[in-house]
């Protein structure tokens, strides 16, 4: 039975257009032009218990708006949704205890207080017994390597340390539904990996259902077996990560070349589209049928130390979906 269900979920925002300058302001006093932005349009999908689903889309696609409706922060214009059997915007007590929402762009911690104070506040809000609270804080801070920062003022923590504290605050009550809106945004590689590792462990131990939005495809590839892509408020793909490869309509490949010395990337403009360029390494996208012709030319003309032929990176495939 699905834990999360959406059926025709739609959210519109009304706003007034304003002309620039004093003349425009005076005009708006008497005749304002109303416009409607369709943030989410007729989105339907379901998520089974224990699934980790990547929710992908460009900026302004409707990802955050959808998660806010699933958490009950926003009412939909039309459509239906159920999370753990509850209608989110009814905000019933049992529902609020069953889920958590974490966003990388908004903090739930008190910035002027040590993190431990915000954690204690959540303990009382969710009525967590003392023994369970102490055990959870000890386990979570140990796994995320932030135990020594519990008594540090939140504003003095690094972004990575703060995001780990955000996760801990959200997981104290052991939610079975976890909504994550870009939790690794702006983090360094080690912090990103630590958060991914913990989410995998939490999903395995609790059986939590997780919806994850992220612009880092490493998050999606490592954590998710399924992806839902939304663009301009509409769902455009729902399927396996591997299934995204079928959108590579041109059957293009990535040729990664490593050289024994620094190479000028401009010398390779005629071979295909440049995807990556470093001092002695480049990655070129080219049609598969062209590789057998162009690769021998490259090997005979340049000091190639090593090369690989790979499928297009997930970012490139998703970019093609956006364009389509």
Region 248-262 average pLDDT: 80
- Cα–Cα–Cα angle for 223, 317, 306, nearest 5°? 85
pLDDT of residue 46: 95
Region 238-261 average pLDDT: 79
CA dist., res. 113 & res. 170, Å (int): 17
Residue 218 has pLDDT above 70, yes or no: yes
| 263 or 321, higher pLDDT | 263
Burial of 20 (0-12, 13-18, 19+ CB in 10 A): exposed
Bridge partners of 101, per DSSP, are 179
DSSP annotation of 247: G
**Which H/E stretch holds residue 141?**
helix 130-143
CA dist., res. 234 & res. 138, Å (int): 42
pTM comes to 0.78
pLDDT of residue 184: 82
Domains of the chain: 2-245 (3.40.50.300), 247-323 (3.30.70)
pLDDT of residue 71: 93
User: Count of alpha carbons within 13 Å of 323, Cβ hemisphere only?
Assistant: 9
Which among 180, 142, 186, 124 is positioned nearest to 160, based on CA atoms? 186
pLDDT of residue 48: 94
Burial 225-250 (b: 16+ CB within 10 A, else e): ebbbbbbebebbbbeebeebeebbee
Measure CA 61 to chain center: 12
Sign of CA dihedral 316, 317, 320, 322: negative
**Predicted confidence (pLDDT) per residue in 3-48, tens digit:** 999 999 999 988 777 777 777 677 777 777 778 888 999 999 999 9
CA dist., res. 224 & res. 237, Å (int): 15
Give the pLDDT band of residue 203 (cuts 50, 70, 90). very high
Which among 236, 234, 254, 232 is positioned nearest to 244, based on CA atoms? 236
Which among 14, 40, 16, 12 is positioned nearest to 28, based on CA atoms? 16
Q: Residues of the chain with pLDDT > 90: what percent?
A: 41
Q: Alpha helix locations (H) across 17-114? A: 21-30, 63-70, 93-96
pLDDT of residue 135: 92
- Cα–Cα–Cα angle for 268, 246, 222, nearest 5°? 85
- Calculate Rg over the CA atoms of the chain: 24
| 139 or 318, higher pLDDT | 139
**Predicted confidence (pLDDT) per residue in 72-128, tens digit:** 999 999 999 999 999 999 999 999 999 999 887 778 889 999 999 999 999 999 999
pLDDT of residue 183: 84
pLDDT of residue 246: 66
pLDDT of residue 249: 58
CA dist., res. 314 & res. 77, Å (int): 33
| 83 or 261, higher pLDDT | 83
CA dist., res. 162 & res. 188, Å (int): 13
**Predicted confidence (pLDDT) per residue in 150-171, tens digit:** 999 999 998 888 888 988 999 8
Residue 293 has pLDDT above 90, yes or no: no
Q: Report the mean per-residue pLDDT for the chain.
A: 87
pLDDT of residue 245: 65
pLDDT of residue 42: 93
CA dist., res. 296 & res. 305, Å (int): 14
pLDDT of residue 309: 86
| 285 or 149, higher pLDDT | 149
């Amino acid at each position: 039975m699905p834990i999360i269900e959406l059926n025709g979920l739609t959210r519109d925002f009304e706003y007034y257009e304003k002309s620039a300058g004093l003349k425009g302001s005076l005009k708006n006093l008497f005749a304002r032009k109303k416009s409607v932005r369709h943030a989410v349009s007729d989105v339907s999908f379901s998520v089974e218990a224990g699934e980790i689903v990547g929710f992908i889309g460009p900026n302004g696609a409707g990802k955050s708006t959808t998660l806010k409706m699933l958490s009950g922060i926003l009412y939909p214009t039309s459509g239906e949704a159920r999370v753990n059997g509850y209608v989110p915007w009814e905000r019933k007590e049992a529902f609020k205890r069953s889920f958590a929402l974490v966003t990388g762009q908004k903090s739930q911690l008190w910035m002027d207080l040590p993190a431990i104070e915000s954690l204690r506040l959540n303990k009382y809000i969710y009525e967590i017994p003392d023994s369970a609270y102490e055990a959870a804080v000890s386990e979570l801070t140990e796994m995320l390597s932030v135990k020594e920062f519990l008594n540090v003022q939140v504003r003095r923590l690094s972004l990575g340390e703060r995001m780990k504290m955000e996760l801990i605050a959200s997981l104290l009550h052991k939610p079975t539904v976890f909504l994550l809106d870009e939790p690794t945004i702006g983090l360094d590689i080690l912090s990103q990996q630590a958060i991914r590792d913990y989410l995998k462990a939490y999903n395995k131990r609790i059986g939590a259902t997780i919806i994850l939005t992220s612009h880092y495809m490493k998050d999606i590839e490592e954590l998710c077996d399924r992806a839902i892509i939304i663009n301009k408020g509409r769902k455009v793909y729902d399927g396996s990560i591997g299934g995204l490869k079928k959108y590579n309509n041109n059957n293009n490949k990535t040729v990664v070349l490593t050289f024994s010395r620094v190479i000028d990337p401009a010398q390779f403009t005629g071979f295909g589209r440049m995807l990556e360029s470093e001092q002695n390494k480049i990655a070129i996208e080219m049609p598969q049928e062209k590789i057998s012709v162009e690769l021998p030319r490259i090997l005979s003309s340049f000091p190639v130390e090593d090369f690989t032929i790979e499928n297009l990176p997930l970012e490139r495939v998703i970019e093609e979906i956006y364009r389509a």
